[in-house]
Structure 1
Amino acid sequence: MASGVQVGKLNDAALRRWLRAGVLRDYRDPQFPEMRLRASADRAKASVYLVINEGGKTVWQKQGVWPSMCIKTFLADLPVMLAKRSSGADVLRGEFFTVADLLAWYVGHIEVNSTLSRSWFTNCKSIINSHLAPKLGLVTLAELSFAVVDNLLVKVMMAEGYAANYIRLCVNVIKRALSAALDLRLLVVNPLSGYRVTMSLKLSPEVDTRLVESDLAPLFGALRDAVMPVAMLFMLMLMFGTRIGETRLARWEHFAGNYWFIPAANAKNRQAHRLPLTPTAKALIAHYLQWQVKFVGKRAFLFAGDVGAISLRTAQYWSESIRFKDFTSHDLRKLCRTIIADMGVDTMVGERLLNHALPVLLRTYVHSKLDKGMLEALDAYHAHLISCGFNEVAPEIIPRSSVDRGLDKTLMAAGWL
């Protein structure tokens, strides 16, 4: 790209003509000597710099990228910004000028982070597109404050009828975006540092959605009345403490020999996991395979949808269909961990069963010993579930009684497609 500076007015029309001409790299307006624009290689945009003298040296500080940032708004704020600099105050600078610039960067920043779950990213992006960008996008980072968030986001969402806890979630997204930019030195200061949503609204106490062991009987009743795939999904979650996302993605090839293998791509923490299969689990899985082949046809996935596995939304809908009280599918995982702990299972074994990250010292356990401990723990846990009535849901896991309850026929006839 040719060097040189084009002189002209700082307005959108003039800047577009400069970029299209493709001759000179820089652009300045004599009326604003502290401002300088530099075209990108493809001349589709230009970086906006504040060129000032500090300590006898000329310093270029990037303020944003045009046309993402509004030149007119920035020029209106420029005298105040320069006055603050002359008094020694910190001024926000970096890749962003408005909150919209920050949010656009943050979406790209988390989208390529493979350690974050896709469902979390989708929710975060939805909050940004639906609430943060429309309500705060035009606010400059220099203007962003506790009062601005309170007036333009919190109070507006309250008037729109959103729950307090959801508003808190929205506020947390913009706070995380600011923190991430600050950590990467893209911002000098965080204008919302120390802000808590409770400064603007009162949060109601969270509803206790926990399942306890005394809930096993009604839970088994709900599973008994569900169609086969629904019952099977949540029986596996209860038996192994797995998450709904990784359970719905289970493939038949993952059940090989004496283990259920959960690939790293399916796990929330992106760590591959291997769970020992007890005789109870093997009997249940074999029975479900026979059911699927007979009534659905052989599929790659245990819980097959029209294409691939069922969606997370479908799995969550299934979860709603078995609720006899206010609980979530994740509470099945918590119940599994609670019962295992109450049975006296070693803490490290219990944490490994749930695929939690282990402290460095606990990672030194011999894997063969760990696998044996996990199998013993699951075997005792599954026996405990049977003693609490689990066989009422899945009679195939133990020798059938002399009375045929007709359960299989009912579930199979109901189907699920």
Structure 2
Amino acid sequence: MNSTRAVKLTEAEIRRHGADRSVRDLRDPRHPGLYLRFWSSRDRGTWHLVRGKRWVPIARWPDLSVAAVVAELPAIRQRLLRDPATALVASGMVTVGQLLDWYGDRMSRDRSLSAKRKAGARSAIAQHLKPRLESLTVARITADSLDKHLMWPCQAEVSLSYLRQMFALLLTAFRQASKLGMIDGNPMAGMRFSDFTKARILPKAAHLRDVQLPELMQQLAPAFAMTPGDAMLALMMLSHGTRIGETRLARWADVSLAAAEWFIPAVHTKTRIEHRLPLTAQLKALLTRYRAIQQAQGYDGAYLFPNRRSEPLTETQASAVFTRLGQGAWTSHDLRKVSRTTWTDLGIDGHIGEMLLNHTLGKIASTYIHTQAMQQRRAALEKWHAWLDQIGFATIHGLTEALFEIPQNSLQATIGEASGHLTEFVTSEDSK
């Protein structure tokens, strides 16, 4: 079996000759020096670039298709000219599509990433990045080609914030592949999102404002009686500014009324950092009342927000809660945003507010601040819940004792005065 066959290389032609064991090598006169040598299994082979008597392996087939290896030939020849001793056996990662497949698989196996982040990356790759960039070769990626195939067309279809996320994903994929030697250099090195657009990415408009919270409390009070799970999910998020993901997964074992603390494990948080939230007297009363309702309904399980299978609500089920409550006017994230905004208006320290939200601290803050500031956090939440009491929260948690003095010159005093005329107060505002 010493035969070399000269053919016009195509995938179909390779497979046809793979069935003929008398053929060992294939070459194409259009591409001098390029050979494919079959393995003994005949369903795989190695691409070689022959220089004199030296056969240099450059890639494997079918990992690298005919079209891909032909596209890379000029770059491979240049590399051999620069360094004849260069080892050129490639991983098959020549096209951007192959790189994205590799990185997508890598992300799917990364235990440090949340399921939501993995799903988001998988969707961005499948719906946008691969359809637009799949056939481009890695070595030919330039700012101009990215702008032509991805950035400019996509800006007309998706939000700039989502386009920036996709760009960051692509940039990370190239950087990782380059670090691991999967590609020869990083053609995206030095590229920035601002190279492609100077448009400002504006934050999403808030659909809930502090002046609308009295009306929200009026809505949640009867909801707590009719659908306690729905109302409780909204109240927990509003009371603490927590994310929907970490709230829907809350377990009774992580709620300690004796220690007055709600513990959120790192595995449930977006930042992968455990989060400890003080429980005020109002929240302890609310949780006690809610647990009694669950037990009266025959549920004594592990989760605060179980579904019919006694498992925690799924992302879809939790989102459906806010579809029912918000009726399209606001979302779960609006509760977190209005909490943070009102904390500022109440004079709560900005750094404490960020800690309550479990945002990742900046490098300087992380270096110099080594405290969880639990007392300051508790004081902040006590002030916030006292403010909420003035607009109807007290009627829901059932704690009748006035626990906190509220300064008359704070924002809550204005709302407190208006709470006696809620209809007039709310209807004067634009609810959209």
Is TM-score (shorter-chain normalized) higher than 0.5?
Answer: yes
Aligned residue number for residue 70 of structure 1? 65
Confirm or deny: 8 A CA contact 1:283 1:397 kept in the other structure: yes
Q: 1:329 aligns with which of 332, 340, 361?
A: 332
Change (3 A) 1:142 1:163: same
Alpha-carbon shift at residue 102 of structure 1 (Å): 0.7
Q: 2:128 aligns with which of 128, 131, 137?
A: 131
The residue identity in structure 1 corresponding to 2:246 is E
Change (3 A) 1:305 1:6: farther
Alpha-carbon shift at residue 280 of structure 1 (Å): 1.0
Could you tell me how far apart the structure 2 residues matched to 1:81 and 1:395 are?
Answer: 71
Change (3 A) 1:155 1:17: same
2:64 aligned counterpart, secondary structure? coil
CA RMSD across the alignment: 4.3
Aligned residue number for residue 270 of structure 2? 268
Alpha-carbon shift at residue 269 of structure 1 (Å): 1.7
- Does the alignment pair 1:237 with 2:237? yes
The residue identity in structure 1 corresponding to 2:302 is A
Alpha-carbon shift at residue 107 of structure 1 (Å): 0.5
The residue identity in structure 1 corresponding to 2:243 is R
2:217 aligned counterpart, secondary structure? helix
Aligned residue number for residue 414 of structure 1? none
1:219 aligned counterpart, secondary structure? helix
Q: CA offsets, 1:349-378, max 9 Å, x none?
A: 444333334412211x3x6xx333333332
For 1:263-412, list aligned pairs within 5 A.
Answer: 263-295=265-297, 297-307=299-309, 308-323=311-326, 327-346=330-349, 348-358=351-361, 359-363=366-370, 365=371, 370-392=373-395, 394-398=396-400
Alpha-carbon shift at residue 151 of structure 1 (Å): 4.3
Aligned residue number for residue 169 of structure 2? 173
Could you tell me how far apart the structure 1 residues matched to 2:293 and 2:32 are?
Answer: 77
Change (3 A) 1:50 1:232: farther
Unaligned runs of 5+ in 2: 403-432
Aligned residue number for residue 82 of structure 1? 77
Could you tell me how far apart the structure 1 residues matched to 2:324 and 2:296 are?
Answer: 24
Confirm or deny: 8 A CA contact 1:182 1:190 kept in the other structure: no
For 1:84-123, list aligned pairs within 5 A.
Answer: 96-123=93-120
Give the TM-score of the pair, scaled to structure 2. 0.71
Alpha-carbon shift at residue 82 of structure 1 (Å): 3.0
For 1:44-55, list aligned pairs within 5 A.
Answer: none
For 1:30-41, list aligned pairs within 5 A.
Answer: none
Could you tell me how far apart the structure 2 residues matched to 1:147 and 1:180 are?
Answer: 22
Alpha-carbon shift at residue 115 of structure 1 (Å): 2.9
Could you tell me how far apart the structure 2 residues matched to 1:246 and 1:41 are?
Answer: 54
Confirm or deny: 8 A CA contact 1:110 1:121 kept in the other structure: yes
Confirm or deny: 8 A CA contact 1:8 1:14 kept in the other structure: no
Change (3 A) 1:316 1:183: farther
Q: Greater shift after overlay, 105-114 or 336-345?
A: 336-345
1:265 aligned counterpart, secondary structure? helix
Give the TM-score of the pair, scaled to structure 1. 0.73
Alpha-carbon shift at residue 248 of structure 1 (Å): 0.2
Confirm or deny: 8 A CA contact 1:164 1:201 kept in the other structure: no
Change (3 A) 1:168 1:277: closer
Could you tell me how far apart the structure 2 residues matched to 1:87 and 1:202 are?
Answer: 42
Q: CA offsets, 1:253-272, max 9 Å, x none?
A: 22133221212211112222
The residue identity in structure 1 corresponding to 2:221 is R
The residue identity in structure 2 corresponding to 1:75 is V
Change (3 A) 1:246 1:179: same
Confirm or deny: 8 A CA contact 1:40 1:46 kept in the other structure: yes
Aligned residue number for residue 228 of structure 2? 228
- Matched pairs, number: 381
Could you tell me how far apart the structure 2 residues matched to 1:373 and 1:381 are?
Answer: 12
Could you tell me how far apart the structure 2 residues matched to 1:21 and 1:371 are?
Answer: 75
Confirm or deny: 8 A CA contact 1:51 1:60 kept in the other structure: yes
Change (3 A) 1:207 1:69: same
1:250 aligned counterpart, secondary structure? coil
Unaligned runs of 5+ in 1: 401-417
